[in-house]
Amino acid sequence: MISQLFSLVVSHFRGILRDRILFAVFGVAAVMILLVPALSNFSMRQVQELSITLSFSVVSGTLLVVTLLLGASSIWRDIERRYTSSILSLPVSRATYLLSKFCSLALFLLCTVLVLGVGCAAVITLASATYPSDIPIHWGNIVLALCGMLVEYLLLGALALLLSSLSTSFYLPFFGTLVIYFCGTASQEVYEYVTGEFGKGIDPVSIAMIKMAYYLIPNFSAFNFQVQAVYALPVPTEGLLLTSLYAIVYTGILLLLAVLSFERRELQ
């Protein structure tokens, strides 16, 4: 099974590299990174801080687009091209096929973070050298923030694969994943609002529903370490371990549900 999984991952990854749309996305991302030093100069007092923030925005936006395109379209595209039927006619289980899809997506996201991370390091170094800041550059926190983005979009990719295993079209996984992503990035703030002083006037039933949604929807804001990276703030080790455990468990559950749903799905 491991050899089959490895072979499928390599095959899927090569297919991803042949996708011209992704090259266009990377072209736009490269242009945006090159513009970061110029845009950072608009803030005369916080050039370094703004360059880090803008660099992270470019990386996060690129990962979001790549995850949505690959996670939402990979299974649908293979079914439309009859590629899935030919693969599953071999001694390959559906679980192996689906896990290979996720692993190839994870590998591509890792390569994306590495490439864009090098570009971010270059523009941040240039900005800090042009206008030195009183805040030192904490490269460990910058790497941690990039790793947090990677884990965040791996979780989102697992969610996209789950919706793809349930849907027969491209639109439901794409827009469904996008909506859940926006809800997950704001769920922490909404939860703190309704459970705090300002939520005392809200209907208890509404509060209960919001709390239920908070625990069901992935909390993507938990993987955001950009503030710590920008201002060189310490990161609690205990919170980091809990966040890592949360990502592993949640991603595992999503992949398990995706495998179970794909096993029951009838393929034409």
Question: In the predicted model, what is the mean pLDDT of the chain?
Answer: 87
Burial zone of 81 (CB within 10 Å; 0-12 exposed, 13-18 middle, 19+ buried): exposed
What pLDDT sits at residue 65? 94
What pLDDT sits at residue 63? 95
What pLDDT sits at residue 193? 84
Predicted confidence (pLDDT) per residue in 73-125, tens digit: 878 877 777 777 677 677 778 888 889 899 999 999 999 999 999 999 999 99
Local mean pLDDT, 10-residue blocks, the chain (268 residues): 78 83 86 85 80 94 93 80 71 84 94 94 88 86 96 96 86 92 90 78 82 90 92 88 94 94 75
What pLDDT sits at residue 267? 66
CA distance 10 to 2: 12
CB hemisphere CA count around 251 (13 angstroms) = 20
CB hemisphere CA count around 259 (13 angstroms) = 16
**CB of 94 closer than 8 Å to CB of 258:** no
- Token pair listed for 137: 């550059």
Q: Residues 62-79, buried b or exposed e (16+ Cβ, 10 A)? A: bbbbbbbbbbbbbbbbbb
What pLDDT sits at residue 47? 86
What pLDDT sits at residue 60? 95
CA distance 23 to 92: 31
> Which residue type does 231 have?
Y
pTM metric for this prediction: 0.92
> 228 to each of 51, 63, 142, 148, 250, how far by Cα in Å?
14, 20, 8, 12, 24
What pLDDT sits at residue 19? 80
- Token pair listed for 256: 């398990």
CA distance 135 to 229: 11
